[in-house]
A and B are shown apart, each in its own frame.
Chain A
C-alpha cells in the first residue's frame, strides 16, 4: 500500500512537470527554458552518482564540456546531422567516463572528489591547448541542422520540443535505472559498501557502470546545450561548472528524483537576474552553498517531500 502511494506521488509529479514544461514557452523565453532543461538533465546525471551511489564527483564539467565540444565539432566541421552530432558527443562522454571512472573508483570518499577534480582540470588544460577547440573563442556558429532530415531546428519551437523530448526521455530512463535491481544494488553500496561486498556483489563494477551512465547523461546534456546555443566554450569544461552542478543538485535535494530539476531551474533563474552583477554571482553561489550545508541539507524537494510525507 505504501509502495503504491509512493509510486503515485512520483507519477503525478512527473505528469505535472511534463505539462508545466509543455505550456512554459507561452510564459518564458524558449532559450532560457532550453538552457534550464539542459542543466536540469546535467544535474539529474550528477545526482545519479551522488544521490544513489554516494559518490561526489567534482569533475562533471569534464563530460558536459567535452561532449559539447565533440558535438559542436561534429555538427560544424564534419557536417553531421543533429541526431548524429548529439550521439557523437554522448559517446565521447561515455568513453571519457569509462577512463576517469576506472581511475577514480580506486579511492573512496574525499579522495574520489579530489581525483575527479584533478582529472577534469587536466582535460581543461587539454581543451586550452587542443587546436580544434579554438581556445578562448570556443567553437562558434554551430549549425543546428535538420533533425532526421525533415525537422528544421533553426526554428525555435522545433528546437524546444526536441530538447523537451530529450530531457523527458532521459529523465524516465534515469528513473528506470534507479528503480531497477541494478539501482537497488547501487543504493546498497551507498548505505554500506562492505556489506554489499559480503553479499557477493562486485561493487567496483557497479560503481564504474553507474559512473559511466552518469557521464553519458551529462554528455547528452552537454551536446544538446551546444546545439541550443550553437556554441561550445571553455566555460563548460572549467571547474566552476562542476561546482555549479553540485550546487543545483544540493539546492534541489541530493538523492531526490525531482530535486536536480528544481535546483537547476532555481539556479539558472537566479543567474539570469544576477547577470549584471559580475563577480558577485560567485559570492551569491558561495553563500547558497554555506546556507544549504549548514541549515538546509535536504534541499527544496527533500524538504517538501518530508513535509508532505511523500516520495519525490
Chain B
C-alpha cells in the first residue's frame, strides 16, 4: 500500500474499482437501451424497473426455492426477458407507428407500476443477497485489496458486452438485425420475420438489464428503487455516447463509471452530478454525442 497526493492507494483503487463496477452496469443498461431503440424506436423507461426485477428474481429464487447465484444468473434474465416479450406483444407493438414520445410515456407508466408494487410489499429498505461461496474472499494485490466477486462482475460484464457487440456487428444474425434497423420493409420483403425479430430484440435488451440486476444484488442489496435513479444516469450516458454505435455505448459506459469513481476520490461533493455535468459539456461541444451520427 502506498500514498499518492495524500490519498492512499487503497482508497484510490478501491473507488476506481467501484467506478468500473458502476461502469459495467451503465454499459450493460445503455447497450440494452441502444439495441431496443434501434429496432423499436422506443426509449425503454422500464429498463431500470427490469434491472430491479432481475435482482428480485434472484432474491426470490434463493429465498423460496434455495436456488443459488449460478442458476439465478441464467434463470432471472430468462424470466424477465419473457415478461419483456409479453409486454412487447401486449402494449408496445401498438405504438410503433406513433410519435416516439408515446413509447417513453407508456414505459414510464409501466416502471411506476412495477416499482410501486414492489415498494408496497418490500418497503424501501434493501434486502441482503449473499455473495456466492465460490467468489467470497479476495486477493491482496499489494496496492489494494481486490474482492473476488467484484473482479468477477467487471470481467463477466465486459465479456457479455463484447459478445453482444460481436453478435450484432460480426454475425449473420446481427447483419439481419442491423438491416432491419435501417429498413424494416425491405428486410421483410426478403422473407425475414421482422415483427418476431423486434419482439425478441426487446426480450434480449430487457434480459441484459435483468442480468445486470442479478450481478448488482450482492453488491448493492435488493431494493425496489434500485433502478429508478440508475436509469436517469444511464439516460445521461446514452445522451453522451449517442445511440448509434454498440461499441460506443460500451466504451462510454465504462469510461463514465471510471470518471465517476475518480470524482469520488478527489471531489466527493460532485460525485452524484459529474455525469450530468459531462453531459452538459458534451451537448455544448458535440451535440450529437461522442459516437452519435446526427440528432
Asked whether A185 is an interface residue with its Cβ less than 8 Å from the other chain, the reply is no
Closest to B274 in A: A122
Q: Bound state CA distance, A129 and B269, in angstroms?
A: 8
Taking a contact as CB atoms under 8 Å apart, the answer to whether A287 and B109 are in contact is yes
Known: A109-B101, A250-B105. A115 touches B279 (CB 8 A): yes
A107 with B116: in contact, given A122-B273, A246-B105, A294-B94 (CB under 8 Å)? Answer: no
Which residues of A have CB within 8 Å of B67?
A: none
B283 within 8 A of A: yes
User: DSSP majority for the B interface?
Assistant: helix
Of B105, B114, B272, B288, which contacts A289 at CB under 8 A?
B105
CB proximity to B under 8 Å, residues A140-164: none
Knowing A56-B104, A279-B116, A283-B112, say if A115 contacts B284 (CB, 8 Å): no
Asked if B236 contacts A118 (CB within 8 A), the reply is yes
B143 close to A (CB within 8 Å): no
Residue among A106, A122, A281 with max Cβ neighbours from chain B (10 Å): A122
Contact between chains at A282 and B119 (CB < 8 Å): yes
A290 and B109: CB pair below 8 A? yes
Q: Does A278 contact B (CB under 8 A)?
A: yes
How distant is the Cα of A121 from the Cα of B283 in the complex, in angstroms?
17
* Cβ of A108 under 8 Å from chain B: yes
Given contacts A108-B295, A286-B109, A294-B94, whether A114 and B117 have CB atoms under 8 Å apart is no
Contact pattern, B 257-295, Cβ under 8 Å of A = 1, otherwise 0: 000000000000100110011011001100110000001
Contact A293:B112 (CB < 8 A) given known A56-B101, A119-B276, A283-B117? no
Asked whether A125 and B105 contact (CB < 8 A) given A279-B120, A280-B120, A282-B119, the answer is no
Instruction: Check if A279 sits within 8 Å of B119, measured CB to CB.
Output: yes
The reply to whether A110 and B43 contact each other, CB–CB distance below 8 Å, is: yes
CA distance A129 to B228 in the complex (A): 20
**Complex-state Cα separation, A285 to B228, whole angstroms:** 16
Number of chain A residues close to chain B: CB under 8 A: 42
Convert A94-128 into 0s and 1s, putting 1 for each residue whose CB lies closer than 8 angstroms to a CB of B: 00000000011011111101110111011001100
In whole Å, how far is A28's beta carbon from the nearest beta carbon of chain B? 27
Q: Is there a chain A Cβ closer than 8 Å to B161's Cβ?
A: no
As a 0/1 sequence over residues 61 to 104 of chain B, the CB contacts with chain A under 8 angstroms (1 = contact) are 00000000000000000000000000000010011001011101
Cβ A113 vs Cβ B232 within 8 A: no
Please name all residues of chain A whose beta carbon is closer than 8 Å to the beta carbon of B269 when the two chains form the complex. Answer: 129
- Name the distance in Å between A114's Cβ and chain B's nearest Cβ: 4
Instruction: Compute how far the CA of A239 lies from the CA of B95 in the bound complex, rounded to whole angstroms.
Output: 24
Q: Which residue of B lies closest to A50 (CB)?
A: B101
Find chain B residues with CB under 8 A from A135 CB: none
Interface residues on chain B, number (Cβ under 8 Å): 44
B232 touches A283 (CB 8 A): no
Residues of A within 8 A of B110 (CB): 286, 289-290
The complex places the Cα of A283 from the Cα of B121 at a distance, in Å, of: 13
A289:B116 contact, CB within 8 angstroms: no
The complex places the Cα of A287 from the Cα of B117 at a distance, in Å, of 12
Chain A residues with CB below 8 A from B112, complex form: 243, 282-283, 285-286, 289
Contacts known (A107-B295, A122-B273, A294-B91); A283 close to B100, Cβ less than 8 A = no
Q: A286-B109, A287-B113, A290-B106 are in contact. Are A117 and B232 (CB under 8 A)?
A: yes
A297 within 8 A of B: yes
Give Cα A285–Cα B109 distance, bound, in whole angstroms: 7
- Minimum Cβ distance to chain A for residue B38 (Å): 12
Q: A297 contacts B102, CB within 8 Å?
A: yes
Q: Are B109 and A289 in contact (CB under 8 A)?
A: yes
Q: Let me know if A110 and B232 touch, CB within 8 A.
A: no
Chain B, Cβ-Cβ closest to A242: B108
Complex CA gap A179/B98 in Å reads 27
| B35 interfacial contact with A, CB 8 Å | no
CB nearest neighbor in B for A99: B280
List the B side residues contacting A280 at CB < 8 Å. 116, 120
Do B102 and A293 have beta carbons less than 8 Å apart? yes
B176 at the interface (CB under 8 A from A): no
Asked if residues B105 and A118 are in contact (CB atoms below 8 Å), the reply is no
Question: What A residues does B114 contact at CB under 8 A?
Answer: 286
Closest A residue to B118 by beta carbon equals A279
- Tell me whether B105 and A109 are in contact (CB under 8 A): no
In the complex, what's the smallest C-beta–C-beta distance from B232 to chain A, in angstroms? 5
A170 within 8 A of B: no
Whole-angstrom CA separation of A109 from B104 in the bound complex = 11
Mark contacts of B188-223 with chain A using CB atoms, 8 A cut-off: 1 yes-contact digit, 0 otherwise: 000000000000000000000000000000000000
The 8 closest A-B pairs by CB, nearest first: A289-B109, A286-B112, A282-B116, A286-B113, A122-B276, A283-B116, A118-B236, A114-B235
16 CB contacts below 8 A, A to B, read A56-B101, A103-B280, A103-B284, A109-B100, A110-B101, A113-B43, A119-B279, A122-B277, A129-B269, A250-B105, A279-B119, A283-B116, A283-B120, A286-B110, A289-B105, A297-B98
